[in-house]
Amino acid sequence: MTIRIAVIGYGNLGRGVEYAIGQNPDMEVIAIFTRRKPEHIKPVTAGVKVYPIEDAVSMKNIIDVAILCGGSAVDLPVQTPQYARLFNVVDSFDNHANINDHYHSVDQAAKAAGKIGIISVGWDPGLFSLNRLISYAISPQGKTYTFWGRGVSQGHSDAIRRIKGVKDGKQYTIPVEAALESVRAGKNPVFSPRDKHFRECFVVTEDGADIAAIEYEIKNMPNYFSDYDTTVHFITEDQMLQDHSGIPHGGFIIHTGNTGANRENKHVIEYNVKLDSNPEFTASILAAYARAAYRLNMQGETGCRTIFDIAPGLLSKEDAETLRAQML
Amino acid sequence: MTIRIAVIGYGNLGRGVEYAIGQNPDMEVIAIFTRRKPEHIKPVTAGVKVYPIEDAVSMKNIIDVAILCGGSAVDLPVQTPQYARLFNVVDSFDNHANINDHYHSVDQAAKAAGKIGIISVGWDPGLFSLNRLISYAISPQGKTYTFWGRGVSQGHSDAIRRIKGVKDGKQYTIPVEAALESVRAGKNPVFSPRDKHFRECFVVTEDGADIAAIEYEIKNMPNYFSDYDTTVHFITEDQMLQDHSGIPHGGFIIHTGNTGANRENKHVIEYNVKLDSNPEFTASILAAYARAAYRLNMQGETGCRTIFDIAPGLLSKEDAETLRAQML
C-alpha cells in the first residue's frame, strides 16, 4: 500500500511534487486541488484527478499527506493550519520573521485533528538550516556564513519588471568568489552586502525605451540593488526565452571553527547545492518529508514539526537495518 | 546543572573530547577512565580526575554520558555494550561490516539497563552518512560519490613503517581533482580506485637503507598501494616532525540527481569537510551526540541509536523555539 499524496496548489512547485513522487515507488499522487478551473490543469502523471480546492474536505479519509504548494506571503499562513485539520501536511513556508507564529498556528490545528504538520521544508529554510544547526552544535564557537546563488531571485526580477519601459526582466544573485574563499580560509571576515553577492540583470525593453535611464534606475533602486554591484544586460525577447527561462538556484553554507589547546586546529564544513530547477528541487525535499509526516502520524505523533524535529531515517523508504548496512 | 561526561580511553580522541566539551557550557567532563596508570595522564581540563578503568562501575550514579574513545577493532565491540549497562554511551565505531552486529549488542545492553547508546558517531560514519541518506531520500534515482582526503591514513602509514629500513612514514590519501569535477558535472562516472584517489608518502629511512627498494616495495604493496598512483618522498626526521606531525583529514560527498518531465534538470548536492585534526573534529561530533543521548534518556528512551535516529534539534543546547527563530 502506497502513501497517498495530495498536491494543494498547482504551479511550478506542485508540478515538481509530481515529478518527485514519480521517483518514489512507495508514494502516489492521488489528487491535485486547485483554485483554478480543474479542466485548465493538465497533470504530468497519467490518471491523476484534479479537483476544485473546496472538494478537499470530502477526501479527508483517503489522503495520507497533503503537500501545500502555495506561497508564504498569503496562502500558507491560512492554508497550512486549515488543511492540518484534515490531513497530515507539509509546507515550504519561508517567511523567517513569522516562523514561530506559523508553527504555533499549525501545531494547534494539527494536534486538535490528530495530524502531523511539517513546516518550512525546502533547502533554505530546510537543508541549509539543518547544516547551520549541526555545524553550530559540533563547533559552537565557530561561525556559519550563508551565500545564495547563482540563482534567480523572483523578487528582484519583479522589481525590474515594474520599471517603466521594461517588457521583461530576470535577475541572478551571484556569490562573490573572493568572499567564499575568504570564508573557506577561516578568516572570519565581516561582510557588507556588496562584499558577499553581486547582481546580474537581463532586461528586455519596450520599443523606444530609454536604456540609460532604465539601467540607472535598476542600479540605484534602494533595498533591491543600491547596496550591491549590479550589471545590466539588455537583450532581445528571443534571447530571454532561449537563455533565461529556467529557474536555477543554489547556495553555499560554510562553517569554520577551531579546536585544540590553543585553538590551533581549523575545521571547515561546507554544504552547497547547485540546482537547475529551484522549485523541482524544493518539491523533492517536500516529498521526502511527506513520507516522514506519514510515518510519524502512524506512530501516533501529532502536532507541528520542523526539519529540526525529524530523525533523518524517517525520510528514507528503507528500514533501519538496511540503512545501517548500506548508508552508515 | 550540567551534563556530566566521562571519557573512557585517553588518546587523541579522548583529549579531543575534553577540548570539545570546553566549548559547551552545558556539559562538563567529570572523569577520565584509563587502562594506563592514572598518574601518567595529564588532562587538559583543570580539576578533572583520572581513574583506573575498573572504577567506572562505582561512578554509575554520577555520570550522565560516557564517551568511548577506544578503537573499533578491539575496544568498542566489548566496551560499548559493557558500559551501556552502566551509562548512556556514545562511540565512533567505524567497522562498517559489523555495524548491525554492534548495534544489536549495544541495543540489548542499553535496553536492559534503561540507557541510551549512540554508535558510529563521527564524520564517516556519521555526518557523511547523514548526507548520503538525505540526498538519496530527496533524489532517489540520483547517485552519491564519496571521496576522502586530503588526509592521513593510519593504516597506510603503519604499512609503510613495517617495511625493512623504514624509520618513520606517513601517508596522505588525496582525491583526484578531475574525478571530483567529473562527478560535480553530473557525468555519473564509473571509477577504478586509481581514478578517485592518489597516495602521497613521506618516509624517513634508517642509515644505509636501500631507498630504491623501499620505494618499489611501497608502490607495489598489494591492497594498500598497488591499485593507486603513489608518490614517495624521502625526508629527514626533522622534516617529518616539523611538517607531518598533524592528523589532518577531510572528504567530499557529492550527490547528483535529475528532475523534470525528461529529467532535464540536474541537481548537485555537495558536502565537504577540511579538518586540521581528524580526532578533534570527531570528538566534537561525539560531544554533540552525547547531549542528544542524555536528552533522549531523560525523555524515557532506551536502546541503541545511530545518527539516523536522532532528530537534529537534540544536538543543540538551544530550545526548539530559539532554534526555529535563529537557525531555521
The residue assigned the cell 540605484 is A220
Confidence of residue A181 (pLDDT cuts 50, 70, 90): very high
In chain B, whose CA is at the least distance from the CA of A144? B327
**pLDDT score, position A212:** 97
Q: How confident is the model over A46-73, as a mean pLDDT?
A: 95
* A 92-111 residues with CB < 8 A to B: 96, 99-100, 103
Measured distance CA(B270)–CA(B135) in Å, rounded? 9
Please state, rounded to an integer, the average pLDDT across all residues of chain A: 97
**pLDDT score, position B285:** 98
When CB atoms are compared, the residue of A246, A261, A277 closest to B259 is A277
> What tens digit of pLDDT does each residue of B182-223 get?
999 999 999 999 999 999 999 999 999 999 999 999 999 999
Q: Decide the pairing of beta strands A143-148 and A249-259.
A: antiparallel
- Topology annotation, domain A3-123+279-326: Rossmann fold (3.40.50)
* Fold agreement between A3-123+279-326 and A127-277: no
Measured distance CA(B17)–CA(B69) in Å, rounded? 9
Q: Is A138 part of the contact surface with chain B (CB cutoff 8 Å)?
A: yes
In chain A, whose CA is at the least distance from the CA of B185? A274
First to last CA, chain B: 27
In 3D space, the residue among B65, B28, B60 whose CA is nearest the CA of residue B47 turns out to be B28
Measured distance CA(A41)–CA(A62) in Å, rounded? 22
> What tens digit of pLDDT does each residue of B25-68 get?
999 999 999 999 999 999 998 889 999 999 999 999 999 999 99
**pLDDT score, position A140:** 97
The residue assigned the cell 537581463 is A202
* Domain map (residue ranges) of chain B: 3-124+279-326, 127-274
What dihedral do alpha carbons B204, B206, B212, B217 form, nearest 10°?
A: -80
Residue A252 in grid coordinates: 553555499
**pLDDT score, position A70:** 95
> What tens digit of pLDDT does each residue of A186-208 get?
999 999 999 999 999 999 999 99
Indicate whether B1 pLDDT > 90: no
Residue A318 in grid coordinates: 528503507
Contact A244, A234 (CB under 8 A): no
The residue assigned the cell 526582466 is A169
Contact B313, A309 (CB under 8 A): yes
Please state, rounded to an integer, the average pLDDT across all residues of chain B: 97
What Cα–Cα distance (Å) separates residue B242 from each residue in A266, A285, B238? 18, 47, 6
First to last CA, chain A: 27
- Minimal Cα–Cα distance from B216 to chain A, Å? 35
> What tens digit of pLDDT does each residue of A105-164 get?
999 999 999 999 999 999 999 999 999 999 999 999 999 999 999 999 999 999 999 999
Indicate whether B175 pLDDT > 90: yes
Confidence of residue A46 (pLDDT cuts 50, 70, 90): confident
* A 152-211 residues with CB < 8 A to B: 184
> What tens digit of pLDDT does each residue of B120-170 get?
999 999 999 999 999 999 999 999 999 999 999 999 999 999 999 999 999
When CB atoms are compared, the residue of A265, A272, A315 closest to B133 is A315
Indicate whether A312 pLDDT > 90: yes
In chain A, whose CA is at the least distance from the CA of B13? A260
* B 49-88 residues with CB < 8 A to A: none
Q: How many residues does chain A have?
A: 328
What dihedral do alpha carbons B96, B101, B104, B105 form, nearest 10°?
A: -110
Measured distance CA(B76)–CA(B78) in Å, rounded? 5
Q: Give all strands of the β-sheet with B197-205 in edge-to-edge order.
A: B151-152, B166-175, B197-205, B230-234
- The answer to whether the CB atoms of A271 and B271 lie below 8 A apart is yes
Buried b (16+ CB within 10 A) or exposed e, B87-125: bbbbbbbbeeeebeebbebbbbbbeebebbbbbbbbbbb
**For the residues of B223-274, what is the DSSP string, one character each?**
TTTTTS-EEEEE--HHHHHHHS-SB-EEEEEEEEEEESTTS-EEEEEEEEEE
Which of B266, B280, B308, B316 to mutate: most A Cβ within 10 Å?
B308
Q: Say which amino acid occupies B321.
A: E
Measured distance CA(B42)–CA(A76) in Å, rounded? 57
Q: How confident is the model over B101-114, as a mean pLDDT?
A: 98
Measured distance CA(B88)–CA(B22) in Å, rounded? 20
Residues 6+ apart with CB under 8 A from B2: B25, B26, B27, B28
CATH of the structural domain B127-274, one choice from 3.30.360.10, 3.40.190.10, 3.40.50.2300, 3.40.50.300: 3.30.360.10
Q: How confident is the model over B241-265, as a mean pLDDT?
A: 97
Which of A91, A99, A259, A277 to mutate: most B Cβ within 10 Å?
A259
> What tens digit of pLDDT does each residue of B306-316 get?
999 999 999 99
In 3D space, the residue among A203, A182, A307 whose CA is nearest the CA of residue A254 turns out to be A182
Q: Is B272 part of the contact surface with chain A (CB cutoff 8 Å)?
A: yes
Angle between helices A12-21 and A278-298 (to 10 degrees): 60
A186: left (phi over 0), alpha (psi -120 to 50) or beta: left
Confidence of residue A253 (pLDDT cuts 50, 70, 90): very high
Residues 6+ apart with CB under 8 A from A140: A257, B23, B24, B317
Measured distance CA(B268)–CA(A39) in Å, rounded? 36
- The answer to whether the CB atoms of A137 and B264 lie below 8 A apart is no
In chain B, whose CA is at the least distance from the CA of A136? B316
B57: left (phi over 0), alpha (psi -120 to 50) or beta: alpha
In 3D space, the residue among A34, A266, A38, A43 whose CA is nearest the CA of residue A142 turns out to be A266
- Topology annotation, domain A127-277: Dihydrodipicolinate Reductase; domain 2 (3.30.360)
Confidence of residue A275 (pLDDT cuts 50, 70, 90): very high
CATH of the structural domain B3-124+279-326, one choice from 3.30.360.10, 3.40.50.720, 3.40.190.10, 2.40.30.170: 3.40.50.720
